[in-house]
Structure 1
């Protein structure tokens, strides 16, 4: 895709374009009061994760700040995704705030208009704290949280950017600079391989379904930066998509460990942390184990960089993440919005980063010197996060049958690793999935 600006993200939503400066001015003289809804009770449902656990541990802080009682439910990820969809569809969800996995449920929730458009809440100076600073959210995450019709129906929460991990020691040993293009990375991978020591230049996901997000990392560097077009038609067999598939194939077949066809993120992480792969492109969320000296042989030797550039005019990295939404059916939208502001405000988002609980959607934590100083991650880790936040783009198409998409396209990619022709496989997979997508678009 062409680089999406905040203006492009909010087409049809001019009010939000003006919101940050207007909010700042209005709140200077606003009647905002954290205790406006004291005595109320809300229900919140989030996924089980370090972020969910942190919210659970600090729930009393919110209650004391606002006087609002908060029932907080923390549910395992897969179970949570299923639970909230069932409750949304019933028309009577039990929660006033919930976490949404944008890479899984964004289109489904948006199409059904289950969530409140928070732009009106943002623009209300009596409901939005003066220091909430919506402009602090990374451009990529704001775009991600915005539906195609311009509605902002979740507040950006956590981000998972795909980045380039590299073994500093291996690159330095052969005087190889950190690659900035995929072509440079491929050539470097060939030079860094040392099969006699079971060391390979690259490692990446090969197993069906999981592999699609690596292929999309190549695609995001081409002239085509999405997998569906403006008419919501599938475009996964174009010349750019085939180029991405060819690159995926050569990296996995030629410069990765034997058996990579069966690798998911876990096998990739294990290979990299054992020092048996020089470079690995995957989610930022896997960084913590790499720096764990009790588990990783390369702790302290890991380098972090933005994903390499492709042949296209723009440079993007794959993005996955979550947002917090307020159901339209909720009768507690005001108290719910206060909860979101507290949970996703600057203080808590900084805590996420400092504690290692996750990557915040906000940008300011990446420049916080206290966070950098207290972290066991090097400064380039934070610089990579901030740079990735500016170029991030959805790593999967925003559709309802996203799991089926990953299965069908993933099978084509797996077949290509085995030697099948990439163009043939992608054309066949595109033809197979197209009616599935069209059917899902017709359904209400």
Structure 2
């Protein structure tokens, strides 16, 4: 059996995320899945029965009428995960919180609370907020620029981690015989004064069985990779091919090593869309069918502006050359993605219509086929060190059931996936060490 084991996350987008506006039309899915706690509990329990490492909740805080259905009405991540914490026993619970529009003390306290409620299963997906319109919901006229967002994020994470170390082990003896609740020598204020934050501390909550929540981070830009290599335990990314996955894997692991970190303590879990059929061709038919029914050009055009700060592309002639000036609207948004779209349009002489169609066209996935084919490909990518595991998109219910019931046993037979949980905390599942408290053991 391989010493390394594939890690699995269940990435939920309820009624339908980007490019899947019509997912909610599936009669097997509650139309209000994104706010249906019973649906989330069912998905979490299915994932736990299949020995998944975690469930992953994405988030953003700005919408337009063109936003995907899941974005229009969904539960706040940590409130949702607190409900899942008391509905599961082993599954890790990872929620998205932005560093741009949250105070470090509040983030530290909320995540530490989830970590204690779940007995050490919490994780934090660190984002900087790509939706520039979020600024208006927090009293700002403009969103932070790209460099400022990432500088704030790095300092924000450092402050949060410092607050999580306010208490040493055994700082709260709660000795009824002596009447001592607190050992004050083991409690430490932070006294942080930085470029973006000033936080005194200490945090008013003790450490969990895993020491502190696991840090997740996503970002493919130079700043994103540097932030992940410096602060993350797990990086969430995308890989179109095994070679692309290997290149990203080598890059971020090398960056971590240069920063003095053990690269084996930084895991790479790309998102994966998986379709399982009776045969390889049947699976491709399923993939094509869902691509057709879950997408439409009209909805894709509305969503197209998201990478460009929700710029309204309906004002342009669809059959005129792609408006390159629109890239300016992406400066404080998802600029890396927007620049890639604009460069593709320029190189290929795309009209706006062609750019939208190019973005929404079916790109056959790497993990589509019979259960045997999918399991073999997942193991191949894993053994080739293109990744450490997968964040699997949860879309159509019958596909998730087929994966857990048909593919998981084959991964176990190949020796690359656990047959039982070996621990109870998220860090134990992922093979991550408990962070040493700077103030003591």
TM-score (norm 2): 0.24
